[in-house]
């Protein structure tokens, strides 16, 4: 599938990330990083995979930044406590258990908690069974 050229959106999102990180605006930074990674994915697809290094670098930068995000840390910590009490809980169940947070925020936190090696997400039907990793990395 061919996407429109994403060079401008990559540059724009880089600028937004720089400004919002400087201001300490986590919500704007979070959205700009998600847009940046998606733009790199599309640009990489357009190039037949020639930009995989840049895409991987953007993903790593985003994941590293997430560790400092207070929203991520708050949801991650609440999720860890729930998973400790109920190993194998489905991610779809977590949306109700963490109903104080929007579903998209819970998805964000669980995705990165798995990326950081804190939890394990095992595909189970149309959801994921969640468990604690043996030795959390953060």
- Say if residue 54 is in the same domain as residue 94: no
Placement of tokens 């043996």 in the chain: 134
Range of the domain at 99: 70-132
- Say if residue 46 is in the same domain as residue 76: no
- Say if residue 40 is in the same domain as residue 93: no
8 Å CB contact between 78 and 105? no
Per DSSP, helices labelled H in 24-137 are: 26-46, 52-66, 70-85, 91-97, 103-115
- Say if residue 76 is in the same domain as residue 117: yes
pLDDT in tens, 47-63: 999 999 999 999 999 99
- Say if residue 77 is in the same domain as residue 116: yes
Considering the domain boundaries, does residue 2 fall inside one?
Answer: no
pLDDT of 67 above 80: yes
Task: Give the pLDDT confidence score for residue 136 in this predicted structure.
Answer: 47
* pTM, 2 dp: 0.91
- Say if residue 62 is in the same domain as residue 104: no
Considering the domain boundaries, does residue 96 fall inside one?
Answer: yes
Considering the domain boundaries, does residue 86 fall inside one?
Answer: yes
pLDDT in tens, 80-119: 999 999 999 999 999 999 999 999 999 999 999 999 999 9
Task: Give the pLDDT confidence score for residue 135 in this predicted structure.
Answer: 57
- Say if residue 77 is in the same domain as residue 49: no
8 Å CB contact between 121 and 112? no
Q: Taking the CB of residue 66, how many other CB atoms lie within 10 A of it? A: 24
Considering the domain boundaries, does residue 51 fall inside one?
Answer: yes
Considering the domain boundaries, does residue 138 fall inside one?
Answer: no
pLDDT in tens, 6-35: 999 999 999 999 999 999 999 999 999 999
CATH number of the domain bearing residue 125: 1.10.10
8 Å CB contact between 39 and 13? yes
Task: Give the pLDDT confidence score for residue 1 in this predicted structure.
Answer: 78
Considering the domain boundaries, does residue 34 fall inside one?
Answer: yes
Please tell me the total count of domains within the chain.
Answer: 2
- Say if residue 79 is in the same domain as residue 105: yes
């Amino acid at each position: 599938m061919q996407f429109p050229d994403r060079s401008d959106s990559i540059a724009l999102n880089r600028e937004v990330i720089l400004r919002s990180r400087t201001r300490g605006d986590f919500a704007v930074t979070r959205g700009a990083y998600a847009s940046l990674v998606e733009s790199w994915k599309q640009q990489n697809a357009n190039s037949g995979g020639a930009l995989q290094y840049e895409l991987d670098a953007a993903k790593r930068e985003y994941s590293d930044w997430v560790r400092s995000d207070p929203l991520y840390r708050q949801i991650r910590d609440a999720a860890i406590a729930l998973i400790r009490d109920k190993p194998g809980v489905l991610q779809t169940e977590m949306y109700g258990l963490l109903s104080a947070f929007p579903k998209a925020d819970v998805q964000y936190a669980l995705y990165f908690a798995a990326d950081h090696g804190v939890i394990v997400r095992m595909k189970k039907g149309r959801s994921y069974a969640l468990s604690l990793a043996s030795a959390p990395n953060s």
